[in-house]
Each structure stands twice: as structure tokens, then as C-alpha cells.
Structure 1
Amino acid sequence: MGANGISQDPFIHTWKPEDGAHLGFGHKSLLQSDGLYQYILETSVYPREPEPLKELREMTAKHPWNLMSTAADEGQFLNMLLKLINAKKTMEIGVYTGYSLLATALALPQDGKILAMDVNREHYELGLPIIEKAGVAHKIDFREGPALPVLDQLVEDDKNHGTFDFIFVDADKNNYLNYHKRLIELVKVGGLIGYDNTLWNGSVAAPADSPLPEYLIYYRPFLMELNKALAMDPRIEICMLSVSDGITLCRRIK
């Protein structure tokens, strides 16, 4: 989506799982060892993964665009993080089949709420039966369509300012800065915004002439611009983590 909220993602349907082959492995983790990443999954993640998340992960793995899904270790991280901050009201921009959404819903209390937005309801509905079976669908307010118009409506009403405990962004990378301009008004002081994919398969540190897939090359400048802007924003504290292919946590301090 561009600044006007209209989808401008030229690569959303063109990337292939094998596009990650230039890194030497078939997952999004920045770990340079398949064996080590698999060790983390099998030792720490999979034994503790709730059955609904496992079912949704395995279902999503069969989808042609499965690389869009949140990785299992990142889902585990988000679930624990939300519990640590006692989150109750959250937002998610970019849902796909709902793995991170379900991880969030399972972490929230029974009266917790998630405002979830995605331009594709069809993908969300693939995972919805599993979410319903898990007994957490009542926590989710799903909105189909561009997120920016919804965010603009929220910002217009002062009652929404500073009311969200946690916001997770995993959508069109060329709009991350546009999202940030609005989300900083909506997250509470002391609350967190998480921007996914901020290391972009490690490409943000790759030489400019590196032989990368086209979708990595296209979005890399937007993520590098975001990373610089977040580092300079006096309203937040930041922590860039090498979980999956990078997640930057922003804690609002004023």
C-alpha cells in the first residue's frame, strides 16, 4: 500500500521459497546453520507450541506463499513478550493466515482485544477455523482492506490516543514509516510497537551490488530508511533483535 492506502506491492505474488537459496538455507532465520535453527525449534519451540499454533503452522506450510508467515520461534517470542507486559489491547497490521495473530490471542486475557488488518480476507479465513477452535476468535476484530485509512480514523479521535499496549506490523514494507507516524500516537507511553523483517534476510547489510532476489532489492531501501528513522526518534527506545529476519521493538517513552 502506498501513502494513500492503495496496495502498491509489486512482488507480493512473485517471490518463491527458493528465493532464499542465496543465503544457503530455506528459512527466514538469520542463523547461518540449518542444524542450529532446527535445534532451537525442536528443543525449545515445538515442545511448547500449543496445538492450535502447530495446526495452523502446518496448514500454512502447504500454502504457496508460506514464507509470509511468522516463524514459529518468533511466534513464541511474541507470546511471551505480551504476557510479560500484561498486554490487553493490541493491533496487528498484516495477518496472512494468522499465526502471529493466534500467538497473540492465546497470550491475551479472555477480555483482551486485537484490531487486525489485512488486505486479503481469504488468507485470514484459511486460519480462522483453527482460531475459532482455539476459543479466541472473540478477541479479534478483523478489518479487510488498507490499514492507513483505518489508522487515520483512529488518530482523528483523541480517545484512541495512547490506548494500545502492543502493535505488531508485518505488512507492506514500503509503508512502514507511514504506519509509524500514526502508530506512535496510538500506542501508550510504555507500550511497544514491533516492526517485523527489519533486517530483511540480512540484505540491509549486504553490498549494494549483491545478487539478491528482486523483492529483497526493492524493499531493502524502505527498511533501511525505517531503521535510521527509528534510531533517531526521541519518542521511543528501540531494540533490534535478530529473531527470524529481524524484529525491531520500539517502546514509547513520550
Structure 2
Amino acid sequence: MNRDTYEIGLPIIQKAGVEHKINFIQSSALSALDELLEDDANRESFDFAFVDADKVNYQKYHERLLQLVKVGGIIAYDNTLWFGTVAMPEEFVKESQKRNRLHIIELNKFLANDDRVQISQVPLGDGITICRRL
């Protein structure tokens, strides 16, 4: 949503020579994904998607991204360990973390049972779940 954040990373993107492969869209994620899906040429055309957004909509992003990412492509979800709280008894979780914790637990269960993807959860930082579309 913030162009300034993109601008911070732009010199690195340019140095890597991949600026032509990135289309920054300043919009809510659901709206942007819906707009991409309106053009059939976008379906199954993406190699990679990284999701670090509002946790309540992660499953909605997943459904849309499965239509956009090609077979063998990767969808990565950030924050899937949510400060370790997904493995804690609820009484030990800070009140400020409880709402998103429940959304992440639901997402993790959903992805574990989704036969459209193969997953790997990586305990780097706050957790990343990598999904390879089958």
C-alpha cells in the first residue's frame, strides 16, 4: 500500500536487473488480485507471489493466487508462526496477538490440508510458509 516502502528497495531491485519484472500496484491486495484475474492472460502466468498483508484475508489471497500462479510456481506467506504464538497455549499469548494468531492457525491448518499445494514451513524470522502449486 505504501509506495515509499517500494522506493526504499528500488535501488536493490535495479542493481539486480529485475526492475522490468516488477509491477508495483498501489492498491488493496484483494482489489489488485481481482483486477489481475479480470485479464485471462494473467491466469497461471506468475512464477512467484509473496504475501505479507492483513492476516484475516490470507485464505482469500490464496484462492486468487492459485489462479494466477502457474503449476510449479511458489506462493510464500509471511508471519505463519506469528511470534511463536501458534504453538503456545492461548493463556500465554499477548492480547494484542490473539486475533491474528487465530487467523494464522486457521491458515496453517487450511494449507496443510490443501491438496493443490505442497508446503514447507520455514522458521525464519516470524515464520514463512512456502507453497508450491501442484
Q: Distance in 2 between matches of 1:183 and 1:247?
A: 16
Match of 2:106 among 225, 234, 240: 225
Give the Å deviation of 1:228: 0.8
Higher RCO (CA < 8 A, seq sep 6+): 2
Give the counterpart letter for 1:202 in structure 2.
Answer: G
TM-score normalised by length of structure 1: 0.49
Give the Å deviation of 1:132: 4.1
Query: 1:53 corresponds to which residue?
Result: none
Q: Distance in 1 between matches of 2:42 and 2:26?
A: 20
List gaps (5 residues or longer) in structure 1.
1-118
- Answer with 234-243 or 219-228: which moved more: 234-243
Give the Å deviation of 1:120: 1.2
Equivalent residue of 1:143, what SS? Answer: coil
Aligned residues: 134
Query: 2:54 corresponds to which residue?
Result: 172
Q: Distance in 2 between matches of 1:134 and 1:234?
A: 35
Quick check: 1:198 aligned with 2:84?
no
Query: 1:78 corresponds to which residue?
Result: none
CA RMSD of aligned residues (A): 1.9
Give the Å deviation of 1:164: 1.0
TM-score normalised by length of structure 2: 0.88
Give the Å deviation of 1:231: 1.1
Query: 1:186 corresponds to which residue?
Result: 68
Match of 1:237 among 118, 124, 127: 118
Q: Distance in 1 between matches of 2:87 and 2:50?
A: 23
Query: 1:212 corresponds to which residue?
Result: 94
Query: 2:35 corresponds to which residue?
Result: 153
What does the per-residue CA deviation read over 1:33-76, in whole Å, with 9 as the maximum and x for residues that have no partner? xxxxxxxxxxxxxxxxxxxxxxxxxxxxxxxxxxxxxxxxxxxx
- 128 and 159 in structure 1: CA distance in 2 versus 1, 3 angstrom threshold: closer
Give the counterpart letter for 1:190 in structure 2.
Answer: G
Q: Distance in 1 between matches of 2:23 and 2:10?
A: 12
Answer whether contact 2:85 2:93 (CA < 8 A) is retained. Answer: no
Equivalent residue of 2:53, what SS? Answer: coil
**Identical-residue share of aligned pairs (%):** 56
- 211 and 167 in structure 1: CA distance in 2 versus 1, 3 angstrom threshold: closer
Give the Å deviation of 1:160: 1.5
